Amino acid sequence: MGAFVARRTAMLVAALLVSSFVIFGSLDLAPGDPLSALTGGRTLPPEAVAQLRAQYHLDDPFLVRYVDWLGNAVLHADLGTSIAFRGSVVSVIAARAGVTLSLVAYAGLLIIVFGVGLGVLSGLRRGALDTGIVASTSVLAAVPSFVAAIVLLSIFSVNLGWFPALGAGQGFADRIWHLTLPAIALALSAMAIVVRVTRVAVRTEMGREHVQTAVSRGIPYPLMIRRHVLRNAAIPVTTVVGITITSLIALSAVVERAFSLDGLGAALVQAALSKDFAVVQGISLVFVTAFVFANVLVDVLYAFLDPRVAMGSRAT
């Protein structure tokens, strides 16, 4: 276990280092100047330009800026200053991380509960229910989240008035109420995929020899399902659930924009538009970290589910 944690931590650090360099470098190469975005193209006196350039360290060579930035990030947990928001990147992230986290968690919960639940149901019960689930999931799997957002908004918010159209709400209950439509929009297509994968996994396990043997030996149905079908089906299902939930982190930008949520994704889009490199960099790193952590979690789950997967093993 210790070796596993150490290796994973090393991988996280390496991933962060590489991605920070890549992001920093690509932003540096991208055309456009953050100052001109800031000043809206107006001509400033040379002193004013020099002053602003110095303030935001825009004239230092690339490597100097990168090392400076990295040093501040590691030593002082300082990710730089946002040009557009005139504040520290850490404060921008802190103000917004909660919304994105709750949105992704909510959507993840929906995927696990409904995606896996309906998949198992559909896998075990052949018939009209199964056909219905298969048909509806094939449609839903193809619906991009921004389309889902628009449809949900116009039905449940504008026409029925059941849910608010924008904002993330204050306090737990209000937050849940505000985030329900965004979470469904975000989870919908992933949920449909999880249903289908779960269904196939359950079906496959049901057809396996050891399950047939268990049936013929008269092992009680619920026990047989729990021990022999679900446990084994859980392995591919975990993989898919893990991947889909981590992908939600990146997809959240679309949904946050559609519902005007003050989340990280929306800030990332806004920052990219205003060439606010420090914020793009900071939020990207948060996303990379979250991605790596989610993957670690999935790997740990594997080891619990499948004794054949040793925690220290290299194969991933």
Partner 1 sequence: MTRVNLAGAAAIALAALTVAACGKAAPGTTSQSSAAPSASSALSPTTPAPSGEAGKITWATYRDVGTIDPIQAFDYPENTVITTLCDSLARQAPDGSIGPGLATLTHPDDKTLVITLKDGPTFWDGKPVTADDVLFSLKRAADPKGGGFYPAVFTRVASMTKTSDKVVTVKLKQPDFWLDGELSQMPGVVLEKAYGESKGRKLGTPQGGLMCSGPFKVGSWKTGSTLNAVRNDDYWDAANKAKVAEIDFRGVPDDSSLTSGFLTGGIDGSYPQGLSTIDQLRAAKDKVTVSNGPSFASDAIVISSLKGALGDVRVRQALSLAIDRKAYIQNVYHGDAQLPRTLANPGTWGYGKDVFQADWNKQPEPTQNLAKAKQLMKQANAAGKTITLGMTSEVQQLATAANAIRSAGDAIGLKVKFKAVSAQNFINFFTDPKAREGVDGFPTVNYPDYADPAAFYNTIVMPDGSQNYDAFDDAQITKAMNDARSTGDPAQRAKFVAQAGDRIMQQLPWIPMAAINTVLITSSKLTGAPASFTFMGGPWANLLGATGNGS
Q: Which two tokens stand for residue 177?
A: 């109420």
Closest to 164 measured CA to CA, from 151, 150, 179 = 179
Report the Cα 118 to chain-centroid distance in Å: 22
Structural tokens at position 189: 């297509």
By C-beta, is 194 or 266 nearer to partner 1? 266
Determine contact, residues 23/280, Cβ cutoff 8 Å: yes
Q: Is 204 in the site for partner 1 (CB under 8 A)?
A: no
Distances (CA, A) of 283 to 21, 201, 242, 271: 14, 36, 21, 10
* Least Cβ distance, residue 179 to partner 1 (angstroms): 14
Cβ atoms 205, 233 nearer than 8 A: yes
Which of positions 39-78 make contact with partner 1 (CB under 8 A)?
A: 39-48, 51-52, 55
Q: Which of 229, 234, 231, 237 is nearest to 209 (CA)?
A: 229
Confirm or reject binding of residue 103 to partner 1 (CB under 8 A). no
* Cβ nearer to partner 1, comparing 13 with 273: 273
Residue 244 makes contact with partner 1 by CB under 8 A? no
Query: How far, in Å, are 50, 52, 54, 61 from residue 47 at the CA level?
Result: 5, 9, 10, 20
Q: Which of 85, 106, 287, 302 binds partner 1 (CB under 8 A)?
A: 85
Q: In the complex with partner 1, which residue's Cβ is closer, 101 or 112?
A: 101
Binding test (CB under 8 A) with partner 1, winner from 24, 69, 106, 259 = 259
Please give the residues from 275 up to 294 whose contact with partner 1 meets the rule CB under 8 A: 275
Per 3-state DSSP, the chain is made up of helix, strand and coil in percentages (nearest 5) of 75, 0, 20
| Shortest separation between residue 136's beta carbon and partner 1, angstroms | 20
Binding site for partner 1 (CB under 8 A): 31-33, 36-37, 39-48, 51-52, 55, 82, 84-88, 91-92, 95-96, 146-147, 149-150, 153-154, 157-158, 161, 164-167, 254, 257-260, 262, 266-267, 269-270, 272-275
